[in-house]
Amino acid sequence: MTFLEFFRAELIWFAGLTIVFVLIILNELKSIKTKAFLISSVKALQLSNDDQAVFVDIRDADAYKRAHIPSAVHMPVDQLSTKVTTSSALKNKVIVLYCDSASASTAAVEKLRKEHPDVSLFSLQGGINAWTQANLPVESSKK
């Protein structure tokens, strides 16, 4: 049996294998793209300490009140698109968005980077969960 005969006889298997291969490649490319949006807790803290970055908490108001990164600005996701360019607190700063685990903030960064390519936006790797696991400071609002 030649390769061509084998290929014809097993066409479905070859098609399935090709689809799986393409999906793996697409997943890896998306993973590489997403990593470009992430910033580590240590790097973000350094930028914040040097007054070059501002943290933006995109979780709901109750989660923000329970615990947030000191000096973080609370901003709901639906307001980000307009405030990212109009808020004086965010002007000329590296903007580090965070949520609980970085899933929502990474999606928000991807969307905002398309709308505002000139703004420096990142998602805090691991979100506030990774921040607290690294024993970095958090504060709560008593309001």
Please tell me the predicted confidence (pLDDT) of residue 93: 87
Cα–Cα distance measured from residue 26 to residue 30, given in angstroms and rounded to the nearest whole number: 6
Cα–Cα distance measured from residue 66 to residue 50, given in angstroms and rounded to the nearest whole number: 26
pLDDT band for position 76 (cuts 50, 70, 90): confident
Cα–Cα distance measured from residue 44 to residue 58, given in angstroms and rounded to the nearest whole number: 16
Torsion of CA 72, 75, 77, 83, to 10 degrees: -110
Backbone dihedral angles phi then psi of residue 17, each to the nearest 5 degrees: -65, -40
Does the predicted TM-score (pTM) go above 0.85?
no
pLDDT band for position 79 (cuts 50, 70, 90): confident
